[in-house]
Chain A
Amino acid sequence: MQAQRRTDLPHPLAGLTVVELAEDPGGEFSGALLAEVGAKVIKVEPPGGAPTRQVGPFAKGEVGPETSLNFWYYNAGKLSVTIDLGGPEAPPPLLALLARADIFICTLQPKALRALGLDLERLSRDFPRLIVVSVTAFGLTGPWADYKSSDLVALAAGGPLNSCGYDDHSIPPIRPGGNQGYHSVASFAHIGVMLALLERQKTGLGQLLDISMHEACAVNVELANPYWFYPRVQVKRQTCRHAQPSPTQPALFQCADGRFVYFTLITTEQKAWQALVGWLDQEGLAAHLTEPEFSDAKHRQDHFSEIQEVVECFFLVHPSDQMYKQGQAAGLPIGVLNAPEDLFSDEHLAARGFFVEVEHEDLGKVTYPGAICRFSSFGEVARTRAPKLGEHTQAVLAETSNTEEDVA
């Protein structure tokens, strides 16, 4: 059963309006992922601005609500509308926006919702086509629903942190960088919104989605879950490689330029072994690994530390970029540990035109990551900078009042 066919849609979500009331990167990234595919995302902020405008880093070190790179990153392509959300009742301008919206993203936890007079279930009833997406720390229900969180706390309580850190367990688990707890829940918000839109295509009805960062983290631990589901064993963290029930060999190799490559030395697979030795030999550094007894997997296992040593030395005398490309050419899954600054000059990303330039009046062009998904059938949305505080209040609210009578 298909909804009405239309041919005028340049982007998958063109024509859809999202209202976003988000105070953290989880909700903001959720909105940004929808803006990236053509939805019109209206960010509702209190007159003083969203709290995320106060979070650095700041462009050129100038602290202010319009220079937060944190805000820029998560709010590119959105519109900003200021509405006084003082409570205790939901403000009429917000309700007017929601009456015309398709999706409402809200990060407020239950206590905060009550304080502002926002009842998500009621909104869902009052606006039957609206998809209400609650993106919170722990979900809207349960004993921890009002517990405070942060990226670190979410990764800790949800489980991913337990797998991350160093071989040395006197060092605590170490948080992987980049707000990944928030990104995890935003990924599910994106999926949830799409499922709800598909549901609405069939039934014409919206609904309420209650999405928990805690749970998003709890399903984002990869092998640690099946290791507990099945053998009921716990994995233990290891330096920059999979946490495992028992220790495995190091996988980071330092190169001549001080940089690292990731390479799992597996000696049990004949093809991978031959590829490795062939590569070492081609560089004249295979040492005794070319000797016939090393073609036997058992012998290799018995002499693993010798092999490890040869490979360590090999990497140590070559630059990381060369090791990455040569290793890949030899058919080995090897990766160089790029720093963010290395990516802008990566030949592969350049050839794919991944990064995009976004115009900022005061700075000129700023480099942002481009669209994550490429589709043959629709073009990419040209990315625009994050809005200034209240930049679109007048235009958006005027539009709302003009057409209010048309809204069912």
Chain B
Amino acid sequence: MLQQRISRSAWPEGQTDKTLADANRLRENVGLSETALRSPASAKGAAPQRSRTPGPRQGPLAGVRVTDFCWMGVGACATRLLADFGAEVIRIEDRQRLDMPRRLPIYKGEARTYGEEDANPDPNKGGLFNNYNRNKLGVTINMRTAKGRELADRLIASSSVVTENFAPGVMERWGLTYAHLKSLRPDVIYARMSGFGHSGPHADFRSYGPVVQAVCGISHISGLPGREPSGWGLSYMDNEAAFFNAAALLMAIYHRNNTGEGAEIDVSAVEAGIALLGPILLDVSVNGRSTRGDDFPTGNRLEHPNAAPHGVYPCLGDDRWIAIAVFNDDEWRALVSAMGDPSWAAEPRFATQAGRFAAQDELDAHVGAWTAGHDRHALMHRLQAVGVAAGAVQTTEDTIDHDPQIAGRGLFFEMDHPVIGEALFEGTPIQFSRTVQENWRSAPLLGEDNAYVCKSLLGMSDSEYEALVEEGVL
């Protein structure tokens, strides 16, 4: 059998070369992980208090130090992947310009809409920051000061990866070009994540998820025909660009391990989004298909293949829905039987997949009238039991608290945080039989690791450190 999700088996197999101190620290992590592993619904009580002191990591990226200038969602989500799998990711933060996720009012016990920020937020209270920055270290450096920039150089010289997702020009303003980074560390990997990439006439354009989604086309291809696009209700491209950036970093590290050679990486979120348009892009480039006509986009209907019924249908309850997708005659017969062989289903126009596809307006009305009397989950299981692809439209309450498939595989886990307390985290949807995801700490408090990074990692004296604090460099 596969091992359970690895955060569960965080005990360091094959780590015999670790010192006793390391092992003890890892043992503490196991205490944490045991708690983390229970499904959220069953996780009770506080996780054992444990040291937040950083130390050696485990995982395939152990030994890789990252000077991480990323902020907001895209960058932080990308470097989270590195931190999860053993890299020592050191977030550089600015006390004067707090990271947006520290400011957004996603707090325990307080429901507010994105954008309704506190005027003077507690920077350590933000749930979104905790979500994106687990397993990382946090230092504050005032990059507007010469000493701050000098400190960043020292940190970069002791790292092998530098990441950033600022607007183009910010890193250059601090002198942090690839050439300069290479002078500090010849095999450095410099990952630059941006909306439009670091060349071309629109390189300076400002963007965030919804703007990227608009420009790359994935908003336009989403919606009902003849109406405005429904697009996306989330910054999908923040996540997806983060995943591509993480993969790019892993590829560059792999390549460097093979060759000793570093790299500058340029990933444009818009270009990543275009690569996610799917086959419609070839329909346009090969067949000259227009996607601005009345027949596109197709809402929940699927043109290729001609699936029918293929839609989202109402169920019992307020705004409750089920997705049903029927691709062939066998599945259709199973659905008809599950519906109790209604007479309408025997009409000749519904006899073939092509006929059903052509008569979807009528078909959807019939199917929707039937589903409306059913509970979405009960119906999903009933249809799946007879071989029909069906899925309740699940909310995050469903997926996080109740979904038995997810709970059984331990996707979500818990960690404690000094200000927020116990919090849930979204894990990595990969079960590895060997690779370890070591969840050792929730997100850093603002400047939490200043002393550790300056003194333990960079070998600064107490007096030098105190001077930097006094001068407002840290």
Contacts and interface: CB of A to CB of B under 8 A. Distances in A.
Contacts of B280: 57, 177-178, 340
Interface in A46-93: 54-57, 59-61, 69-70, 72-74
A229 B114 contact: no
Contact of A374 (B254, B265, B290): B265
Contacts of B81: 191
A3 interface: yes
A101 interface: no
Interface in A219-276: 219-246, 248, 251-252, 254, 260-262, 264, 266, 268
A390 interface: no
A7 B115 contact: no
A238 B85 CA distance: 36
B369 interface: no
B405 A139 contact: yes
A208 B433 CA distance: 5
Contacts of A260: 214, 228-229
B444 interface: no
B354 interface: no
Given A235-B233, A349-B200, A375-B248, A188 B399 contact: no
A19 interface: no
Interface stretch (B338-346, B388-396, B449-457): B388-396
A218 B280 CA distance: 25
B219 A262 contact: yes
A212 interface: yes
A276 B194 CA distance: 23
A1 B285 CA distance: 47
A368 B262 CA distance: 28
B365 to A, nearest CB: 13
A308 interface: no
B75 interface: no
Interface string B193-217: 0001101111111111111111111
A368 B229 contact: no
A333 B219 CA distance: 16
A243 B233 CA distance: 5
Contact of B111 (A188, A233, A240, A252): A233
Contacts of B393: 156-157, 161-162, 172-173
A201 B254 contact: yes
A347 to B, nearest CB: 6
A227 B106 contact: yes
B150 interface: no
B228 A221 contact: no
A377 B235 contact: no
A157 B247 contact: no
A142 B5 CA distance: 12
B239 A348 contact: no
Contacts of A335: 207, 210-215
A378 B262 CA distance: 10
A148 B222 contact: no
A339 B127 CA distance: 35
A343 interface: yes
A306 interface: no
B378 interface: no
B258 interface: yes
Contact of A190 (B128, B243, B264, B281): B243
Contacts of B435: 195-196, 199, 207
A6 B258 contact: yes
Interface in A1-33: 1-7, 9, 12-13, 25, 33
Given A150-B389, A207-B434, A227-B396, A367 B233 contact: no
Contacts of A9: 255, 258-259
B279 A229 contact: no
Interface in B280-318: 280-287, 289-292, 297, 299-300, 302-305, 307, 310-314
10 shortest A-B CB distances, which residue pairs? A215-B429, A335-B214, A230-B127, A157-B391, A163-B233, A240-B231, A194-B250, A335-B211, A156-B323, A177-B221
25 contacts: A9-B258, A9-B259, A12-B254, A141-B2, A156-B322, A159-B395, A172-B312, A172-B313, A172-B393, A178-B276, A197-B254, A222-B73, A227-B106, A231-B127, A240-B223, A240-B231, A242-B210, A337-B229, A340-B221, A343-B217, A368-B282, A369-B281, A372-B272, A373-B244, A373-B247
Given A13-B251, A148-B390, A172-B300, 16 more contacts: A2-B257, A9-B259, A57-B303, A69-B282, A69-B286, A121-B1, A205-B434, A216-B429, A225-B396, A333-B208, A338-B216, A339-B221, A369-B281, A372-B244, A375-B265, A377-B264
